[in-house]
Amino acid sequence: MSTASDVYEAPKVSFWNDPKIRSALVQVIMLLVIGFFVYEIVDNTITNLTKRNISTGFGFLNKSAGFDLIQSLVSFTSESSYGRALVVGFLNTLLVSSIGIVIATLLGFIIGIMRLSRNWLVRSIATLYIETIRNVPLLLQMFVWYGVVLKSLPGPRQAINVGDMFFLSNRGLNMPDTIFGDRAWLGLAGLVAGIIGAIVLRSWARKRQAATGQPFPYVLTGIAMILVLPVLGLLMAGWPITFDYPVLGGFNFSGGAVIIPEFMALLVALSIYTASFIAEIVRAGIQAVSHGQTEAANALGMRSGITTRLVVIPQAMRVIIPPLASQYLNLTKNSSLAVAIGYPDLVATGGTVLNQTGQAIEIVMIWMVVYLSLSLLTSSFMNWFNSRMKLVER
């Protein structure tokens, strides 16, 4: 029927109408325009910088900072360098966002499940929470926690006292500090051994269940291992732990550890705000599991607890994880609002450094690089997690 000569031959397209040439042209023009803009910006910046006598480069990071930070995870004094100040700020950002992520997830899951409750009152409390918190700016909530709630706590002398160990006042939460003595590493070793043991146990239990159908309560056993082994390690070392209790002296507490009110306000505001979004994600995820799945599980005679754990939640997680990841990113980015209440996070310390040195470009570049890499790290981890949870189809 068809011979080689019948094969359809595309008509010659004229030069300008050839899509390849067109797209090449468009891209060349675009490159030129972008190049022009970049050139202009760089040129203007260099002119402006020389005019203002600002030298570029990261040399200023080694200079002594000359300011104090109210919270630092590594030692920091006013003689430390600007670079170290930024590291402290970065660690503070990590601290508040990682704890915030844990609390927001827990709270969000609880509220999200409450929203699906059969009980009308429970449902309405969850709805009230979500609709109130979601529709008020985070910065305002932060001001309320910091400026109204925490400021109205009693002073150190009338602090709310829990068992002479925890003191809540408008100076923060003072609590005992743990001091690890010699050989305390045995406790840490116990903890590591417990975690590894729990992981090994889990994989063994799963294999055995797959082979024989015999379940093994690996969750409880694993938790027990993680809790008991460090204690055992410490006992072997002769319990080298002492506590340093906060003591009221003069107008403030001395000794012990303190959680500063700035940190508390930021953490509470971030967790509560993000939890309201997570709750909606959780609700949508659970509702996305089709009713047939629960009915099928019931028909197989599974109890409702097992149905939820083994049928509903694994499927709901597939819907929940991607938006959850972006909420985690949002929380991390929103932690930069710390600058408004004076918690020394990366943006706040960077702002102070910027004001003192005038190195705007370098500081903004550090901010952008740090936050971008945090975002990329979190999103790649969540992508990996998501691909593990994903439904494997043909």
Partner 1 sequence: MSSAPKTSAYLRTEDAPLLPAPISMVGIQGWIIANLFPTIGNGVVSILAGAFLLWIGWGVLDWALFSAVWSGDNREVCAVEGAGACWPFVYSRFAQWIYGFYPIDQRWRVNICFLVGAAALVPMLMPSMPHKKWNVLFLLIAYPLITLILLTGGQFTMSAAAFLNAFIILALAATFLPLVAFGIEEGIQSNRIGFGLAGFGILIWLASFVIGFSIWHSALGSFSPGSIGAAIFIGAGGLLGIGQLRGAANSSAQAALRNWLIAAAVLFGLMLVLKLDFGLQEVETSQWGGLLVTLVVAITGIVASLPLGILLALGRRSKMPIVKTFSVIFIEAWRGVPLITVLFMASVMLPLFLPEGVNFDKLMRALIGVALFSSAYMAEVVRGGLQAIPKGQYEAAQALGLSYWKLMSFIVLPQALKIVIPGIVNSFISLFKDTTLVSIVGLFDLLNIATTTSNDAKWASPQTGATAYFSAALMFWIFCFGMSRYSLFIERRLNTGHKR
Residue ranges in contact with partner 1 by CB under 8 A: 14-17, 23, 26-27, 30-31, 34, 40-41, 44-45, 47-49, 118-122, 124-125, 128, 131-132, 134-141, 143-144, 147-148, 152, 333-334, 336-337, 339-340, 347, 351, 354, 360-361, 364, 367-368, 371-372, 375-376
Minimum CB distance to partner 1, residue 142 (Å): 10
Closest CA to 289 of 114, 118, 116, 108: 116
> Are the C-beta atoms of residues 186 and 233 closer than 8 Å to each other?
yes
DSSP helix/strand/coil, 3: coil
Nearer to partner 1 by Cβ, of 300 and 376: the residue is: 376
CA distance 209 to 232: 30
Residue closer to partner 1 (CB basis): 136 or 223: 136
Q: Is the Cβ of residue 127 or residue 221 nearer to partner 1 in the bound state?
A: 127
Q: State in angstroms the smallest separation of the CB of 36 from partner 1.
A: 12
Contact, 370 vs 131, CB < 8 A? Answer: no
H/E stretch holding 45? helix 19-51
Q: For partner 1, give the closer residue by CB, 174 or 359.
A: 359
In angstroms, rounded to a whole number, what is the distance separating the alpha carbons of residues 95 and 115? 30
The amino acid sitting at 57 is G
Q: Which residue, 76, 246, 106, is CA-closest to 172?
A: 246
Single-letter amino acid code for the residue at 281: I
The residue (of 160 and 372) whose beta carbon lies closer to partner 1 is 372
What sections of 213-290 are H helices per DSSP?
A: 218-236, 261-288
The CA distance from 394 to 381, in Å, is 25
Q: How far is the CB of 356 from partner 1 (least distance, A)?
A: 13
Angle at 24 between CA 20 and CA 27, to 5 degrees: 140
The least distance separating partner 1 from the CB of residue 189, rounded to whole angstroms, comes to 39
Residues in the chain: 394
Sequence-separated (6 or more) residues with CB below 8 Å from residue 101 = 274, 328, 331, 332
Q: What backbone phi and psi angles, to 5 degrees, belong to 177?
A: -100, 135
Q: Which is nearer to partner 1, 205 or 268 (CB)?
A: 268
- Where do we find the tokens 């203007």? 44
**Please, is 146 exposed, middle or buried when counting C-beta atoms within 10 Å of its C-beta (0-12, 13-18, 19+)?**
buried
Q: How far is the CB of 18 from partner 1 (least distance, A)?
A: 11
Q: How far is the CB of 152 from partner 1 (least distance, A)?
A: 7
Nearest approach in angstroms of CB 246 to partner 1 is 27
Q: Find out whether 390 and 326 touch, Cβ atoms under 8 Å.
A: no
Burial class (CB in 10 A: 0-12, 13-18, 19+), 91: middle
Q: How far is the CB of 320 from partner 1 (least distance, A)?
A: 18
As measured in angstroms, the least distance from the Cβ of 112 to partner 1 is 16
Taking the complex as a whole, the smallest distance from the CB of residue 151 to partner 1 amounts, in Å, to 8
Give which of 358, 334, 349, 340 is closest to 96, Cα–Cα: 334
